[in-house]
Chain A
Amino acid sequence: MCLAVPARVVREVNPDCAVVEISGVRKEIKLGLLNEVEVGDYVILHAGFAIQKLDQGEAEATLKLLEELCSST
């Protein structure tokens, strides 16, 4: 039940509902657990609800950390 996937918001239907895309498949999902979701955002989707937005800045920071870690001896 922890299973959740990142999904890209492609269209807002109404404040409660959006269409997301996961690997080319589109699905309507509920937004009742998030404020201010915009087209282009990536959300974590679980059991039909977006439960959090993915933070692009933090994703890049993690990549940078990993790069530094793996380039050090």
Chain B
Amino acid sequence: MLEYLRDKNIARKLADKIKELVRGHLKLMHVCGTHEQVIASSGLRGLLPENIEVIQGPGCPVCVTPASEIDLAVELASRGNIVTTFGDMLKVPGSERSLADSRADGSQVKVVYSISDAINLARKSPDKEVIHCAIGFETTAPSTAVVILDSPPQNFSIISSHRLIPPAMEALLASGECKIDGFLAPGHVSTVIGAEPYNELARKYNRPIVIAGFEPVDVLYAILMILKQIRDARAEVEIEYTRAVRPEGNPVAIEKMWEAFELSDSSWRGLGNIPNSGLKLKSRFEGYDAIKRFGMEPKASVDIRPGCSCGEILKGLKYPWQCGLFKIQCTPDSPIGPCMVSTEGSCAIWYKYQTQELVKDNV
């Protein structure tokens, strides 16, 4: 099946059909770094007609984590605790330092693939506090929930940085700052949440939303599905990624998530505060909330450094090459903003795949 979903002849045929259907200038947004990866690495923008743009929104959970949350992790590491993090969070700058800087100074910062690895570390180091940076959207939050619900060791806690995608989509639509004619919804977030959370957005803002898979043909087919909706004056939620996304999502994962967490307002790096867009541990689990356990007080953070366009890039207002620092002061080796650090950040992806050479004249 994968060969079919990567077949360039099928991709070209879909691109031809897209060309036949598109009217006017359309701007579609996706909210998933992995979609940007496949779009960039497969050169899909080169296949699309000039009058369709596909831009990344705030689909990189590492990129939207405020510097203040990184600062908390850095502070806890400096106190001699073990801090665990996913790999692409390691080098993201906080207000002054990253966790990589902390590690270089001798703090115990460990990269983990899974929160389960952090739990194992806590069990092996009973005389140390282990704090896990629980970052991720709805794809990742249920696994944090499973661990919290399963009586984690007493020396384990989390900084909850989980955020929810539909409220961010709504915030962008409500602000009207960015022209968005339709959404490619994130395939793996949607394996958990299903189609229902997007229904109100499609209806209220009259925009088609198609949940897309992660192969090149998936993305092109999802774009075609959006165009068919626009042609037919429909604004519905459809699933292109039917092999992995059920309309009801994963009820077990949803249940676990809401058993451990409740909604909270949340600050998004580059987007500001979005009501009811974050997850915090319910009060009966607050023993595992590192902020409460260690009496931390999140402070105002320097989220966007002078000259950095991560804010506009995360809102879909700019492409990476439109940032004055891109590839000059800001590179993967010396990143200024989070979008250049994370494997799911637009700037890191565009840098890697030289996308701007392909599309610069078209946007």
Contacts and interface: CB of A to CB of B under 8 A. Distances in A.
Interface of A: 1-4, 30, 32-35, 44, 46-49, 51-52, 54-56, 58-59, 61-63, 66, 69-70
A58 B140 CA distance: 24
Contacts, number: 121
A2 B4 CA distance: 23
Contacts of A34: 250, 252
Contact of A3 (B34, B135, B150, B242): B34
Interface in B211-263: 217, 221, 224, 240, 242-246, 250, 252-253, 256
B142 A33 contact: yes
Contacts of B311: none
Nearest to A33: B253
A34 to B, nearest CB: 6
A2 B34 CA distance: 6
A55 B239 CA distance: 13
B10 A46 contact: no
Given A32-B256, A34-B250, A46 B1 contact: no
A51 B13 CA distance: 32
B190 to A, nearest CB: 9
A63 B1 contact: yes
Interface in B59-75: 59-62
B169 interface: no
B344 A2 contact: yes
Given A54-B244, A62-B242, A49 B143 contact: yes
A59 B34 contact: no
B189 interface: yes
B122 interface: no
Contact of A47 (B35, B140, B343, B344): B140
Given A1-B61, A33-B256, A44-B244, A51 B221 contact: no
A4 B343 CA distance: 13
Interface of B: 1, 4, 9-10, 13-14, 17, 32-35, 59-62, 86, 88, 113-117, 135-137, 139-140, 142-143, 146, 150, 186-189, 191-192, 217, 221, 224, 240, 242-246, 250, 252-253, 256, 343-344
Given A1-B136, A1-B137, A33-B252, A48 B114 contact: yes
B142 to A, nearest CB: 5
Contacts of A1: 33, 60-62, 86, 88, 135-137, 139-140, 344
Contacts of B224: 69
A46 B192 CA distance: 11
Given A48-B115, A69-B13, A30 B243 contact: no
A41 B217 CA distance: 23
Nearest to A35: B252
Given A2-B344, A48-B114, A62-B240, 14 more contacts: A1-B140, A2-B186, A2-B187, A32-B143, A46-B139, A47-B114, A47-B136, A48-B115, A49-B116, A51-B143, A54-B244, A55-B242, A69-B14, A69-B17
B140 A46 contact: yes
A45 to B, nearest CB: 10
B14 A30 contact: no
B113 A48 contact: yes
